[in-house]
Amino acid sequence: MRIKRLLPLMWSAALVFALPAWSWAQAQPQAGAKPATARATFAGGCFWCMEEAFEKVPGVIAAVSGYMGGQAANPTYEQVSAGRTGHAEVVQVEYDPAKVSYEKLLEAFWRNIDPTQKNAQFCDYGSQYRSGIFYHNDEQKRLAESSRAALQKNKPFKGEIVTEITKSSQFYPAEEYHQDYYLKNPTRYKFYKSGCGRDARLKQLWG
């Protein structure tokens, strides 16, 4: 009878000591679990247009306009657009790997650029408007190179593919007025996009 009365006390003590360890274990990420979000960076000429293209892809959380691949720190739009820093206009994409794969993002990238234009995209000329894939890890590099090689074999257009594949470097977000420009200034944006011949050339390239 005495042992029976002690059992609830012994059980309670065991729970007190076990609870911290259980809580710690629950807080740790599971081995092999995929991160909640991932990052990808692409250059495809005017970042306004690339931002619109990627934000329409299911699984993409956000696309931020910015600059990458240059020498100067904290470049301004005026410096980059004048071609003085070596940066390219890029979009950095945050996405959910459970909903969209990096391969799907690569498909969206190719379908929204002219891979045959060197140091230019549509009506915008200069190395700041070059097309490129900035990989963040070895897996992205492998997939990007594989994607470019496959496109080279089965491209529906003439011309050499000159799109660069480069290791990512420091990303500098563009000024606030550039972010979501296609939403903030729809009339001006449509006028620019149409006047630049982007949609017409994409249709010519990809059908």
Number of alpha carbons in the 13 Å side-chain half-sphere of residue 34: 11
Q: Catalytic site residue 46?
A: yes
User: How far apart, in whole angstroms, are the C-alpha atoms of residue 46 and residue 18?
Assistant: 57
In the set 46, 49, 123, 196, the catalytic residue is 46
Contact 65, 48 (CB under 8 A): yes
User: How far apart, in whole angstroms, are the C-alpha atoms of residue 46 and residue 44?
Assistant: 6
Outline where DSSP puts E strands in 6-59.
38-44
Pairing of strands 120-121, 124-125: antiparallel
Signed CA dihedral, 170, 171, 173, 178: sign only: positive
The residues that are catalytic are 46
